[in-house]
Amino acid sequence: MSTPAPEATVTRATCPYCGTGCGVLIESRQGRIIQVKGDPQHPANFGRLCTKGSTLHLTAADHVSRQARLLTPMARATRGAEPTPLSWDTALEQAADRFARIIREHGPQAVGFYGSGQLLTEDYYVLNKLVKGLIGTNNLDTNSRLCMSSAVAGYKATLGADAPPACYDDFQHAQTLFIVGANTAWAHPILFRRIEDARKANPEMKLIVADPRRTETADMADLFLPIRPGTDVALFHGMLNVLISEGLTDPDYIARHTQGFEALATLVQDWTPQQAAATCGIPVDDLVLAARWMGSHTPSLSLYCQGLNQSSRGTDKNAALINLHLATGQIGKPGAGPFSLTGQPNAMGGREVGGMANLLSAHRDLANPAHREEVAALWGVDEVPAQPGLTAVEMFEAAARGEIKALWIACTNPAQSLPDQATVRGALARAEFVVVQEAFATTATCAHADLLLPATTWGEKDGTVTNSERRISRVRPAAGPSGEARHDWFIFTDFGRRLEARLPDRTARYRAGTRTLFPYTSPESVWNEHRESTRGRDLDITGLSYALLDSAGPQQWPMPQGAAQGTARLYTDGVFPTADGRARFAAMPYEPVAEAQDAAYPFSLNTGRLRDQWHGMSRTGTLGRLFGHVSEPVVEVNPQDLARLGLQDGALVSVRSRRGEVIVPAQANDGMAEGQAYIAMHWGAEYLGGADADGLPRQGVNALTQPRFCPTSKQPELKHAAVRIEPATLPWRLTALVWLPADQALAVREALKPLMTAFPFASCVPFGREGDETGPGSRVGVLFRAAAATAADEALLARLLALMGLA
Ligand SMILES: Nc1nc2c(c(=O)[nH]1)N[C@H]1C(S)=C(S)[C@@H](COP(=O)(O)OP(=O)(O)OC[C@H]3O[C@@H](n4cnc5c(=O)[nH]c(N)nc54)[C@H](O)[C@@H]3O)O[C@H]1N2
Ligand SMILES: Nc1nc2c(c(=O)[nH]1)N[C@H]1C(S)=C(S)[C@@H](COP(=O)(O)OP(=O)(O)OC[C@H]3O[C@@H](n4cnc5c(=O)[nH]c(N)nc54)[C@H](O)[C@@H]3O)O[C@H]1N2
Ligand code: SF4
Ligand SMILES: [Mo]
């Protein structure tokens, strides 16, 4: 900490958005955050920030908090009613009563907890112990199931442990960089800047990008492979076929450090380059060239994200890519390796504490009795439950069937981000008791809560996160909590103690000397317990402490006791964390996407990110300026497809899958292949509304997506749903735009939101800004669009215009 101006304080923290994990310097004055800058000393970003990171301070402004944050605990007497404030004590007593009663009456399997890769490691650790240690169920899953679970399963199946082996420095050593299923230019912008630097420094470096869409990342590529949706395994098998036939594998590495190559080699014999290229829909020569670069223009490094993970064959896609690195020995040395880019800022930390339905602390496995015993001993309980918990999609399906009676949702917005929203909404409606622990009051999920618990968030929180390259950084508070918000670790701790008092059966299982499972007084006290759980494990951090993070800066695990610093690369000695020290090849057949296109649903719908928005947009959506890059929801399609449908660019269309429908303007984009469509994943019911013929509210992009998941990782196939696109005949149109003072615009947009359901199509977004958005002097646009078959009635219009201050 230093002090540039007499009254400004500078706090070192981490950006709360993507898994790049950039360091930030937060400037505050009298406890108010006034500026944010990149931390020049942070090894992820060396002072740089992207559009989202560099505008963080604006999202923490007082007028934003007043309009958008959840500031007190609130309860609803009945569903659909306006929530009313209550004290923390009453709120947590009610929560503990309800949970204890449901657990007593229906058993621990009747409750479910759904968390987030945006929780800090300390938050996550307490939550995991609460659910598995105290309550005695493994029904704890998180949005990481929608995000990184295929990467976890892919690493474990091949390398033996869930650990990204490479590091960001490897970008500058790689000769071939293979970006597959990732739009790094938008989703990990600062990493992309580092890739651009590496290419400038080394003009020989080759960049290959494989993605069904021509993205900004693809535009940078030396070789772009516009593969058909879901055909990655065929691509990788075809590349391996070329590597073998051209003698580009590393037989010595294969012999000394791996197992199972013969079976794989036999499998890929059938995947001739011709066969693979035909399956992927790309030129044979391009596939062969990609394989040659990967095998001979070395070292080669692969970066990948949701294009591989969010697939009904996500684990196979991950494993088949890792096969290429093992077969060529391109792993464990500078510039080489398979390197999954982590989506959320702390999905890695969540994996470390084992905060998912099939994992246990410190990369232990629930299925392993010895691991369960170790964790039980660490926690001071007789046992942790053996029965695997319900994963994200399964948990909501079980709740929709009435099997899960109480749901606790923290730091995620499932009514926006889970696939098959019809089922999700059914689950939220059917559950007897829904707790939502949130920082912002404006999310779709908040509307379904019986109890709303206000959480602190970026700028206020204290703890640690781990980024994509296994680097642990401190998150430090620059301001006090907004309103009555509390830290997530503390909410879980407080609730845990109250629940302990109500569950004597459970606490009777505590080992002698264990008085409470939740003795925590600070994030550091939680973290120290987590650290102890890693002793002797692959991610051992017993050499690290908060004090060391303060003095020596962020460190990469493992860092066992006695180590002077963290570990940049794994498997440098070719020894893997498997029983025999050898990595495993995975010989998996190629399987197509789960929901094939057919005559009724001829388009493949792909979904993903925009550069300047973050998921459900609870934070990025508070700034008019972040709508400058892409301002409104659209479905992107190839211009030929648009012409075939007889539509002009911008025409309203109905996009319908077997599960639901949205109405949205179509946008021609020649980066889209014919037969494919793309809607950004951010457009939930908060921004893209309307009601169906029965008057039921539309549920945004995930009304369309499908719940089918990878059998191993249970990650759903969010990237592919079969849809049909038809003109929407809604001739009556309304467009209303108003410029409002920044301290009113968000509240007006909130007031307008319910009106979206009065029309078959409606969207409502902040629209640009005049001035700097920092205070009452500047203005933010609010844009409301609607369409209907016939003119809206006068009263409705009058209400709309009055809310916008136009009447
Ligand atoms: N701006 C911004 N950045 C973010 C986020 C955000 O919300 N906004 N979220 C963060 C999170 S949590 C995550 S998980 C990451 C996601 O980061 P990415 O995975 O890089 O981003 P996506 O846009 O979800 O998807 C990447 C690409 O996969 C492609 N794709 C679809 N299907 C296939 C396929 O079958 N094969 C291949 N090879 N590619 C396919 C899509 O066309 C898309 O371009 O971003 C992180 N960063
Ligand atoms: N169609 C489609 N759907 C997708 C995806 C896709 O590519 N396509 N991607 C999936 C992926 S990879 C992901 S990661 C998910 C993300 O989906 P979500 O997890 O639903 O996304 P967020 O909007 O980031 O939700 C985080 C919530 O936590 C709140 N919050 C912020 N800070 C704190 C805090 O400190 N404490 C608490 N308690 N709350 C806080 C925020 O206001 C926000 O509402 O979406 C998934 N859904
Ligand atoms: S690249 Fe990711 S971590 Fe870095 S500033 Fe941008 S959003 Fe934040
Ligand atoms: Mo994610």
- For 175-229, what is each residue's pLDDT tens digit? 999 999 999 999 999 999 999 999 999 999 999 999 999 999 999 999 999 999 9
**Ligand 3 lined by 465 (C-beta under 6 Å):** no
Atom 10 in ligand 1: which residue has the minimum CA distance? 343
**Ligand 2 lined by 408 (C-beta under 6 Å):** no
- Indicate the SS3 state at residue 62: helix
Atom 40 in ligand 2: which residue has the minimum CA distance? 411
**Ligand 1 lined by 609 (C-beta under 6 Å):** yes
Give the ligand 2 atom nearest the CA of 445. Answer: 44
Give the ligand 2 atom nearest the CA of 410. Answer: 38
Name residue 382's amino acid: D
Q: How many residues does the chain have?
A: 807
- pLDDT of 773: 82
- The Cα 799–Cα 754 span in angstroms is 11
**Ligand 3 lined by 475 (C-beta under 6 Å):** no
* Substitution candidate for ligand 1 out of 146, 183, 213, 321 with most atoms within 8 A of CB: 183
- pLDDT of 768: 85
* Substitution candidate for ligand 3 out of 14, 25, 45, 626 with most atoms within 8 A of CB: 45
**Ligand 1 lined by 183 (C-beta under 6 Å):** yes
Question: Span 603-803: which CATH code?
Answer: 2.40.40.20
Q: How far apart are the first and last CA of the chain?
A: 51
Element (H, E) at 310: none
Question: Looking at the CA of 168, which ligand is closest?
Answer: 3
Residue 446 is encoded by which pair of tokens? Answer: 């908040």
Work out the angle between the directed axes of helices 523-533 and 369-379 (0-180°, nearest 10). Answer: 150
**Ligand 1 lined by 307 (C-beta under 6 Å):** yes
- The Cα 574–Cα 374 span in angstroms is 28
Question: Of 6, 18, 57, 51, which Cα lies nearest the Cα of 479?
Answer: 57
- pLDDT of 777: 80
- pLDDT of 201: 98
**Ligand 2 lined by 440 (C-beta under 6 Å):** yes
Name the strands in the sheet holding 451-454, side by side, starting at the edge strand that comes first in the sequence.
84-85, 74-75, 451-454, 433-438, 406-410, 111-115, 140-142
- Domain 94-144+346-429+455-550, CATH class in plain words: alpha beta
- pLDDT of 576: 98
Distance 240 CA to ligand 4 centre (A): 29
Question: Looking at the CA of 436, which ligand is closest?
Answer: 2
- pLDDT of 772: 82
Atom 42 in ligand 1: which residue has the minimum CA distance? 213
**Ligand 1 lined by 182 (C-beta under 6 Å):** yes
Atom 24 in ligand 2: which residue has the minimum CA distance? 615
Produce one character per residue of 528-558: b if its CB has 16 or more CB atoms within 10 Å, e if not: ebbbebbeebbbbbbbbebeebeeebbbbbb
Hey, where are the domains in the chain? Answer: 94-144+346-429+455-550, 149-340, 603-803
Asked whether the CA dihedral 146, 431, 762, 83 is positive or negative, the reply is negative
Report if pTM > 0.95.
yes
Cβ atoms of 411 and 437 within 8 Å: the answer is yes
Question: Of 686, 674, 680, 659, which Cα lies nearest the Cα of 607?
Answer: 680
**Ligand 2 lined by 144 (C-beta under 6 Å):** no
Distance 618 CA to ligand 2 centre (A): 9
Question: Of 388, 449, 412, 370, which Cα lies nearest the Cα of 138?
Answer: 388
Distance 610 CA to ligand 2 centre (A): 14
Distance 215 CA to ligand 2 centre (A): 23
Distance 443 CA to ligand 3 centre (A): 22
Atom 8 in ligand 1: which residue has the minimum CA distance? 614
Atom 14 in ligand 2: which residue has the minimum CA distance? 147
- pLDDT of 6: 59
Atom 1 in ligand 3: which residue has the minimum CA distance? 190
Beta partners for 783? Answer: 737, 765
CATH topology of domain 149-340: Dimethylsulfoxide Reductase; domain 2 (3.40.228)
Could you give phi then psi for residue 14, rounded to 5 degrees? -130, 145
What is the distance, to the nearest Å, from the Cα of residue 341 to the centroid of all Cα atoms in its chain?
11
Question: Looking at the CA of 187, which ligand is closest?
Answer: 1
- pLDDT of 776: 67
Torsion of the alpha carbons at 167, 173, 177 and 182, rounded to the nearest 10:
30
Q: Residues of the chain whose pLDDT is less than 50?
A: none
- The Cα 648–Cα 638 span in angstroms is 12
Distance 418 CA to ligand 2 centre (A): 9
- CB neighbours of residue 380 within 10 Å: 16
- The Cα 611–Cα 787 span in angstroms is 28
